[in-house]
């Protein structure tokens, strides 16, 4: 469920906003080789200085198909405004009662965007299926749409308000 759930989340958000107008242009990016050292996001950030300077916010969805025991999120200082709004939305709906903010680390593709000065944030759900992460059992059998639906709705509402 690791790469699949985030990719499906991005597709869902892209499909939803393809039918809506928004004050920002939205760009949906899939970066390859995350598990091999974030090679795709590192290369994208290295080769796209001009594009990066125009990005208002980077939202990274990764592993959002677990049970909704905990929402884990991280982002650099530049992302605090966005992260605060996400947590307000979460609290208003009562989706994840105990979200946990971690330190900004190089665990997923948002990292190189943050290092390039782009406000970047990362979200994942951690629950019952986290024990299968990066194992042969990290598959559709260990995916649930509970967290996926909540995070999708949170991202949708966030983009409309930000």
Q: Does 3 have pLDDT greater than 80?
A: no
Q: For the chain, percent helix, then strand, then coil, each to nearest 5? A: 45, 10, 40
Q: Does 2 have pLDDT greater than 80?
A: no
Kindly state the tokens that stand for 66: 């677990």
| DSSP one-letter code for 77 | G
Rounded CA separation 158/81 (Å): 11
pLDDT of residue 150: 96
Beta strands in the chain (DSSP E): 58-61, 70-75, 100-102, 120-126
pLDDT of residue 1: 64
């Amino acid at each position: 469920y690791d790469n699949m759930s985030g990719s499906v989340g991005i597709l869902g958000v892209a499909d939803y906003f393809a039918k809506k107008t928004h004050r920002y242009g939205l760009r949906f990016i899939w970066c390859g080789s995350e598990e091999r050292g974030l090679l795709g996001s590192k290369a994208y950030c290295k080769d796209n200085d001009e594009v990066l300077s125009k990005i208002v916010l980077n939202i990274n969805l990764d592993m959002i198909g677990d049970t909704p025991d905990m929402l884990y999120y991280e982002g650099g200082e530049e992302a605090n405004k966005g992260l605060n709004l996400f947590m307000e939305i979460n609290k208003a709906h009562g989706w994840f009662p105990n979200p946990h903010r971690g330190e900004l680390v190089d665990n997923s593709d948002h990292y190189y965007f943050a290092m390039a000065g782009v406000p970047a944030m990362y979200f994942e759900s951690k629950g019952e299926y986290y024990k299968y992460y990066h194992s042969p059992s990290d598959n559709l059998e260990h995916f649930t749409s509970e967290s996926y639906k909540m995070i999708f709705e949170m991202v949708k509402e966030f983009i409309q308000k930000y």
